[in-house]
């Protein structure tokens, strides 16, 4: 029975249903290698071709895209520079760009040097109709769960969960901006736990626009007037290991002291309230007596500074040569 033609004909049929064909087919279909030619624009023209080439090799190496020097052609013009890069890889073009984006996040210091000031790094296909294009911004990015340190006199963290952005945020903007203006300046971070770990808040482009308008409208009502150069609002992207498609940001509102040195100013909110920052906590709204005490303390601190400045002016005048008076370099009537 085993030697019959029917039996021998059936044996190959039994093998086809099993694994024997899988091996040869896998061997016959090796992974394809793609060759992409990328245009990388807005490079910093202050560096030589050799330096720009070295920087690009470092970033592409971090993206697991090792290149030889001859794979990178840097073109320099008087006021601009770009590069043409040939990449051979088994990855799709979309994945190549994603890896390049992640690598740029890890090499922020290098990226700031590589890119022309005020510009973003542009990466796209150099030949044919562009299928994919990314812009890589030399900006801050925070990783989910990263530790940002502890709260201080100049740093305040808020987790920002729930309805925080639509409710509590406006009250905290009033309190903390006013307190920072009346102390040494500082920054309010929304999307960071009190313990200092980055959590982020859901914040898409529309929400960013709403928050900008909200903060601008609140600060316009402060007295004395708070000008736009006294504060900066930044939405810092939060990077998670898994791509959830959710816009997570840390919102940073930084306040700088706008007043000239030596000038005494006390700010109040658009609701007429006054707050102070004291060792990581907020004091306020302040009573009239508390405000008077603040003024007394600041004046007492500035007294020695004013006296010191007067002594320096007197010493400078004493050093003037007598001959300058005879030649009229200094008006005698002004001296009197």
Sorted by where each begins, the domain ranges of the chain are 34-138, 155-283
Q: What percent of the chain has pLDDT over 70?
A: 68
Looking at residue 260, what is its pLDDT?
Answer: 58
- Residues 266 and 285: beta-carbon distance below 8 Å: no
| Per-residue pLDDT tens over the stretch 279-296 | 778 887 876 566 766 667
Q: What is the pLDDT of residue 305?
A: 52
Alpha helices in the chain (DSSP H): 5-16, 22-28, 49-62, 93-106, 108-114, 168-181, 205-219, 288-318, 322-326, 332-335
Using CA atoms, how far residue 270 sits from 217, 230, 283, in Å, is 9, 16, 17
Q: Which of 211, 213, 195 is nearest to 203 (CA)?
A: 211
What CATH code would you report for 155-283? 3.30.950.30
Cβ neighbours for 290, distance < 8 A, ≥ 6 positions apart:
283
- CB-CB neighbours of 302 under 10 Å: 14
Put simply, whether the predicted model's pTM sits higher than 0.75 gets the answer no
More confident residue, 72 or 247: 72
- DSSP assigned state of 286: P
How confident is the model over 252-276, as a mean pLDDT?
82
Question: Under a CB-based contact definition with an 8 Å cutoff, are residues 181 and 267 in contact?
Answer: yes
Residues composing the chain: 336
Which distant-in-sequence residues (6+ apart) come within 8 Å of 74 by Cβ?
43, 49, 52, 53, 56, 81, 82, 83
Amino acid 107: pLDDT: 77
C-alpha of 101 from chain center: 15
DSSP 141: -
Residue 218 confidence (pLDDT): 96
Contact between 105 and 199 under an 8 Å Cβ cutoff? The reply is no
What band does 311 get if pLDDT is binned at 50, 70 and 90? low
The residues, any chain, with a CB within 8 Å of residue 241's CB and separated by 6 or more, are 144
29-68 burial: b if 16+ Cβ within 10 Å, else e: eeeeeeebebbbbbbbeebeeeebbebbbebbebbebebe
Residue 22 scores a pLDDT above 80:
no
CATH 1.20.120 fits 34-138, yes or no: no
The pLDDT tens digits of the residues spanning 121-177 come to 888 887 655 555 555 545 567 888 888 888 988 999 999 988 999 999 999 999 999
Token duo for residue 102: 């992640």
Cα-based distances in Å from 274 to 187, 189, 266:
18, 21, 8
């Amino acid at each position: 029975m085993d030697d019959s033609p029917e039996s021998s004909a059936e044996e190959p049929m039994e093998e086809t249903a099993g694994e024997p064909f899988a091996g040869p087919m896998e061997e016959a279909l090796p992974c394809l290698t793609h060759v992409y030619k990328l245009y990388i624009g807005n490079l910093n023209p202050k560096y030589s071709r050799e330096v720009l080439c070295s920087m690009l090799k470092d970033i592409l190496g971090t993206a697991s895209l090792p290149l030889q020097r001859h794979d990178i052609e840097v073109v320099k013009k008087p006021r601009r520079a770009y590069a043409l890069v040939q990449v051979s890889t088994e990855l799709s073009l979309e994945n190549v760009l994603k890896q390049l984006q992640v690598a740029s996040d890890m090499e922020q210091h290098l990226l700031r040097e590589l890119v022309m000031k005020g510009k973003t790094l542009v990466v796209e296909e150099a030949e044919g109709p562009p299928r994919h294009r990314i812009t890589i911004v030399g900006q801050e990015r925070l990783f989910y769960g990263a530790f940002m340190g502890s709260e201080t006199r100049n740093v305040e963290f808020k987790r920002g969960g729930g309805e925080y952005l639509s409710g509590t945020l406006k009250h905290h903007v009033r309190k903390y901006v006013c307190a920072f203006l009346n102390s040494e300046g500082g920054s309010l971070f929304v999307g960071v736990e009190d313990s200092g770990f980055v959590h982020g808040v859901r914040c898409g482009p529309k929400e960013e626009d709403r928050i900008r308008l909200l903060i601008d409208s609140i600060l316009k009502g402060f007295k004395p007037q708070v000008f736009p150069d006294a504060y900066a609002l930044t939405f810092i992207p939060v990077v998670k290991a898994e791509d959830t498609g959710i816009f997570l940001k840390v919102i940073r509102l930084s306040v700088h002291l706008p007043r000239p040195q030596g000038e005494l100013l006390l700010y109040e909110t658009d609701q007429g309230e006054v707050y102070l920052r004291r060792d990581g906590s907020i004091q306020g709204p302040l009573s009239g007596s508390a405000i008077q005490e603040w003024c007394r303390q600041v004046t007492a601190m500035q007294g020695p500074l004013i006296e010191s400045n007067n002594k320096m002016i007197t010493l400078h005048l004493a050093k003037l040569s007598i001959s300058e008076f005879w030649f009229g370099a200094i008006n005698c009537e002004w001296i009197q």
